[in-house]
Structure 1
Amino acid sequence: MTSQNRLASADIYRGFVMLLMMAEVLHFGDVSKALPNSSFWAFLGHHQDHVEWVGCALHDLIQPSFSFLVGVVLPYSVANRLSKGGSFSQALWHTIKRSLILIALGIFLRSQYKTQTYFTFEDTLSQIGLGYTFLFILAFRSQKVQIVALITILIGYWLAFALYPLPDANFNYTDAGVTKDWEYNLSGFAAHWNKNTNLAWAFDRWFLNLFPREKPFLFNGGGYATLNFIPTLGTMILGLLAGNIFLSSSSSQEKLKRFLILGISGIILGLVLDALGVCPNVKRIWTPTWVVFSGGWCFLLLAFFYWVIDMKQSTDAYFLKVIGMNSIAAYCIADALGVYISKSLKIHLGENYASILGDSYQTLIHGGLMLLIYWLILHWLFKKKIFIRI
């Protein structure tokens, strides 16, 4: 998008999401362990980590928000590109290249500190790249087609998991990296979505072993899977629908109302589907219920930032704007430079410099300084008008 038609609320929402990701260095969970009687730090620690399987913490909303926002801004990007005289075929070729770059960048970041290229596709950037070309094509179709595509993805993906057979008596749980009596295992029909015994895990046991590896792929420790990109595309389509609302002739109040209705409806529907056992709400394998539930939260967060930034014309979000307008740079800085910055601080300030407020807050002080450095790098790029675009 050009500076003239950028959607300010999307930039600030993206900045908020990236801040949550970068703020992992604060390690609230470690502070909570050091202060076990503090409910305040326990709360922060819980929401700065992913839930083990079913459910949602604030940290779980980072990836769906980032994916959702890809869909939100796409109609603007398409309109801008076509306004400059570009053809559909030219735009499609650019999109395919962008998809491949995102996939490759995700693999590159996951390969750090490995002895060879680590082919894996569950990284946020790779997941978006795998679905982005399909999203682009849908952006040129009617909203009815977009909704039909979304419903088809959700029902089709649900059915594929539901039809995949459950582990039998001879199933080797050790090779799946879980135990039969793991406390987070689901029972009954919901067991079709258990960790590393599902369709997506079986696909990766075949697919990921097609690539050169140090050792055969058996399982992902977190339960994440390549096929997550399919329902992630559903999340991006929800964002595309939100982008359509933004570009509609409706009033600001009507747009805000629609975001709120869609947000609340998504959360309620997701909770109902999970409670009834139709499909559990699992972020790690991006179940259809998770698409609906997390999508509801994305609509509500978008509504909040739209109301504050675009409708109320707030000018107090500069800190987030610096991050949100350079989100790819922020992602790479946090992912690729974090270890280097952390080690450098301890080299130059001393191993125990962060104990100034006591041992319990070491990770907080150290992480806070790292987070400041991240932002200062992004601020320098912002001032120099250097924005990483793919």
Structure 2
Amino acid sequence: MENVSPAVSVPTSTPQRLESLDVYRGLTMLLLAFTVPNWGWQEPIAHAHPWLRPVMDQFEHVVWRGLTLWDMIQPSFMFMVGVSLPYSYVSRKRRGASDAELWRHAAVRALLLVLLGIFLRSVGRDETHWTLEDVVSQIGLAYLPLFWLATRTPRVQVIAIVAILVVSWLLFALWPVPTNAPNVVAHFTGFWSHWNENVGPGVAIDRWLLNLPPRSEPFVINNGGYYTLNFLPSLATMALGLLAGQTLKRDRTAQAKLLWHFGWGTVLIGIGVALDLSGVCPLVKKNWTPSFTLASGGLCLWILGALYGLIDVAGVRRWAWPAGVVGRNPLAMYVMTWTLASWVLMNLTTHLGADAFAVFGETFTLLVGNLAVGLVLWLICWWMDRNKVYLRV
């Protein structure tokens, strides 16, 4: 990975927009938007058509070990933040921003993302839900270290990625495994018990950190086994995106850029799977193990490489227009998904009738409802895009 530019340079010409990144953002957001607010929509379909169970399982997180399509949403978001950073850095530099102004902007962005995550997790609750494991807050926590890495050489960035993963592994591998502790879910035995649910430094840190703000009840665990500490290994995911963005900005042939993405993607996937199969550490998304970081990061490189080759190189982009509309305004779609989706579904049901979404039978009612909500949210994004209204932090 050393074969990328040593620092973010500021060209004098206006850079061409990376359309593949917009499409990647849009596809990821649409995957989320079209499956909210009817969680569990896939279960009636899988029950009625068992042969579709493997496909339907891709729209839900694995219980603990493994990887599905749905598990790729968060690493994709974090990876794309890294990809876009060199482009936003150059854009602000070209407009005359000083280093101090860039750091101030990065700090404000990091704080706003953390607060936005807390706000969205508190929607519909009786009090502020102080939690930092969601994707927006995690990006905010890791953003300043990522910004610092963006000003370093690729060699330093690679060393940082390796160091982050080694430290993350050591923190869990050396942490004492409790016996008969409450709330522990034993997915593994033996050495892998260090990565069981609600075991290790992540839960210990959360029980200290998340009890500092005022709460009506003491914090014990996050449902699902997620930790604030996940921002540390996910910083490595963002740094991989940073390397990818710098590579795409380099004055190299398209073929060389594609070889870089697919080559390193294959290597990272291979290492991640090997770490899991060899027993070094399990591939678990919910506590963002090093093996998951590498495997999911490699897949992100593959996806971005494929989209770059298809859209930016081959020019086959007409099919991607709907995703591009969302990808140019991803934060708006994300916020609407967590604030408006249920309200939109309620109003569609009120005005169209309770059976409006049963056009394909009861089995697909929940899915059709989600698609209808997703279409409404997409139309809002389309209107915003036509009128150049973009939500930025």
What TM-score results when the alignment is normalised by the length of structure 1?
A: 0.94
Q: What amino acid maps onto 2:352 in structure 1?
A: L
Structure 1, gaps ≥5 residues long: none
Give 1:273-288 correspondences, 5 Å limit: 273-288=275-290
- Alignment equivalent of 1:23, drawn from 31, 34, 56: 34
How do 1:111-150 and structure 2 match up within 5 A?
111-150=122-161
Q: What displacement does 1:31 show?
A: 4.4
Contact residue 101 and residue 129 of structure 1 kept, 8 A: yes
Q: Pairwise mapping of residues 213-292 of structure 1 onto structure 2 (< 5 A)?
A: 213-292=215-294
Following the alignment from structure 2 to structure 1, what is the Cα–Cα distance between the partners of residues 53 and 61? Answer: 14
How many Å separate the matches in 2 of 1:28 and 1:225?
Answer: 22
Q: Distance in 2 between matches of 1:230 and 1:289?
A: 14
3-state SS in 2 of match to 1:355: coil
The residue correspondences of 1:46-195 to structure 2 (distance < 5 A) are: 46-168=57-179, 171-173=180-182, 176=183, 178-179=184-185, 182=186, 185-195=187-197
Question: Does 2:339 correspond to 1:330?
Answer: no
State the 1:3 CA deviation: 8.4
Cα-to-partner distance string for 1:98-150 (whole Å, 9 max, x where unaligned)? 00000000000000111111110011110000010111111111111111111
Q: Does 1:383 align with 2:378?
A: no
Q: Which amino acid aligns with 2:53?
A: A
CA gap 1:193/1:304 in 2 versus in 1, 3 angstroms: same
Superposed CA deviations along residues 199-254 of structure 1, whole A, max 9, x for unmatched, are 10111111111111121111111101101111111100000110121122221001
| C-alpha deviation, 1:269, in angstroms | 0.7
Q: Do 2:35 and 2:41's aligned partners in 1 also have CA atoms closer than 8 Å?
A: no
1:362 corresponds in structure 2 to: 365
Q: What amino acid is the match of 1:242?
A: A
Distance of aligned partners of 1:258 and 1:34 in 2 relative to their CA distance in 1, 3 Å threshold: closer
Q: Which runs of 5+ in 2 are unaligned?
A: 1-9
CA displacement at 1:367 relative to structure 2: 1.2
Query: Which segment drifts farther, 34-43 or 256-265?
Result: 34-43
Question: Does the C-alpha gap of structure 1 residues 150 and 240 become closer, same or farther in structure 2, counting only changes over 3 Å?
Answer: same
Distance 1:70 1:148 in 2: 20
Question: Counterpart in 1 of 2:376?
Answer: 373
Q: Is the 8 A contact 1:186 1:194 kept in 2?
A: yes
From 296, 317, 320, the equivalent of 2:298 is 296
The 1:49/1:3 distance shift into structure 2, 3 A limit, reads: farther
User: Which letter does structure 2 place at the counterpart of 1:351?
Assistant: A
Q: Which moved more, 1:42-51 or 1:125-134?
A: 42-51
Closer/same/farther in 2, CA of residues 351 and 37 from structure 1, 3 Å limit: closer
Q: Give distance in 1, aligned partners of 2:29 and 2:90.
A: 26
Deviations, residues 266-299 of structure 1 (Å, cap 9, x unaligned): 1111110001110111100111111101001000
Shift of 1:172: 3.0
Instruction: Tell me which amino acid in the other structure corresponds to 1:57.
Output: T
| Secondary structure, counterpart of 1:209 in structure 2 | coil
Deviations 1:287-332 (A, max 9, x none): 1111101001000001110011111112311100001000000100
Q: Distance in 1 between matches of 2:48 and 2:62?
A: 21
CA distance in 2, matches of 1:35, 1:329: 32
Deviation at 1:34, TM superposition (A): 5.0
CA 1:3–1:342 in 2, change beyond 3 Å: closer, same or farther?
Answer: farther
Change over 3 Å in CA distance of 1:144–1:35 after alignment to 2? closer
**Which shows bigger deviation, 343-352 or 146-155?**
343-352
Match of 1:319 in 2: 322
Equivalent pair of 2:37/2:341 in contact (CA under 8 Å): no
Q: What secondary structure is seen at the aligned counterpart in 2 of 1:210?
A: coil
Indicate if the aligned counterparts of 2:65 and 2:284 stay in contact, CA closer than 8 A: yes
* Cα distance in structure 2, aligned partners of 1:26 and 1:165: 40
| Residue 339 (structure 1) aligned to one of 319, 337, 342 | 342
**What's the Cα RMSD here?**
1.8
Name the counterpart of 1:351: 354
Where 1:76 maps in the other structure, the secondary structure is: helix
State the AA in 2 paired with 1:109. Answer: L
Instruction: Say whether residues 1:212 and 2:226 are aligned partners.
Output: no
Aligned residues: 381
With the length of structure 2 as denominator, give the TM-score of the two structures. Answer: 0.93
Aligned partner of 1:359: which letter? E
Tell me if the contact between 1:32 and 1:38 (Cα under 8 Å) persists in the aligned partners: no
